[in-house]
Amino acid sequence: MFGEMSLVDFFLASPTMVVLAVCSIITVGFTIERVLYFMTSGTDARRFMGELSARLKNGNPQAALDYCNQQKNPVARVMAQGVMHMNRSRDELQQRLDTAIDLETVEMERNLGVLGTMSNIAPLLGLFGTVVGIIRAFADIARTGSGGGAVVAMGVSEALMTTAAGIVVAVIATVAFNFFVRRIRTRTAHLEDAREAFFTIWHQYMQARKSAAATRPAKAAAPARSAASEIEETLSSVLG
């Protein structure tokens, strides 16, 4: 109850409170949506990179790609791009990974603009409602020609409720916004660390491929040298 007005009556009498109620629903809804996103997409980046490294060291990029596709988290999606483009140069691979990290950052920042907007406009809406309420209270007093300290105080107290509501919405939005910004910075740092670890794995993988490619011609040439030696020995025995 607000003086002689019920909560419903107060909402009906103050359109600004209706707007602030909508803002509060939007703020809480997007906050819950972002919390669920970060809860379901979290992973241990170091453990993941260890599993990925083990599969690549076995010389099986397809197994590494399958492992990335099975994991539903930002690190896995970024590393999947790296595995699919392992045969490219380092500069091309880095560009591909940087683009993947940027896309994941955009996804993590989704709806944060709404929370930031609510944290800024909610106090202003509350102040607007207060000013309108005070104007209406004094207009009623002037129209009826009756009033006093109690009547003025009642009108001002009702008007100030919009400011209080706006501050509450702004506090929730600001706390949620700053919390998610911190989480995004942490995850982006983990993605960049995983990218550098992937380059180390990629370098070892390419070195192993080069070594294997260099070994195969040498093994293939060995039988040819043996055949040449047999022919030379045969000719030597024939020619005395």
- Provide the domain count of the chain: 1
Instruction: Give a yes or no: residue 131 inside a domain.
Output: no
Instruction: Give a yes or no: residue 137 inside a domain.
Output: no
pLDDT tens per residue, range 61-96: 888 888 888 888 899 999 999 888 888 888 888 899
Residue type, 188: T
Instruction: Give a yes or no: residue 157 inside a domain.
Output: no
- φ, ψ (nearest 5 deg) of residue 145: 75, 10
Nearest-angstrom CA–CA distance, 83 and 19: 49
Instruction: Give a yes or no: residue 156 inside a domain.
Output: no
Instruction: Give a yes or no: residue 144 inside a domain.
Output: no
Residue type, 116: G
In sequence order, the β-bridge partners of residue 2 are 5
Query: Which is more confident, 44 or 10?
Result: 44
Residue type, 54: A
Look at residue 155 in the predicted model and tell me its pLDDT.
66
Asked whether 104 and 76 are in contact (CB, 8 A), the reply is no
Name the pLDDT band for 184 (thresholds 50, 70, 90).
very high
Range of the domain at 96: 7-124+166-238
Instruction: Give a yes or no: residue 47 inside a domain.
Output: yes
pLDDT tens per residue, range 186-225: 999 999 999 998 888 888 877 877 777 777 654 544 454 4
In terms of Cβ atoms closer than 10 Å to its own Cβ (0-12, 13-18, 19+), residue 194 is buried
Instruction: Give a yes or no: residue 149 inside a domain.
Output: no
Asked whether 177 and 119 are in contact (CB, 8 A), the reply is yes
Instruction: Give a yes or no: residue 192 inside a domain.
Output: yes
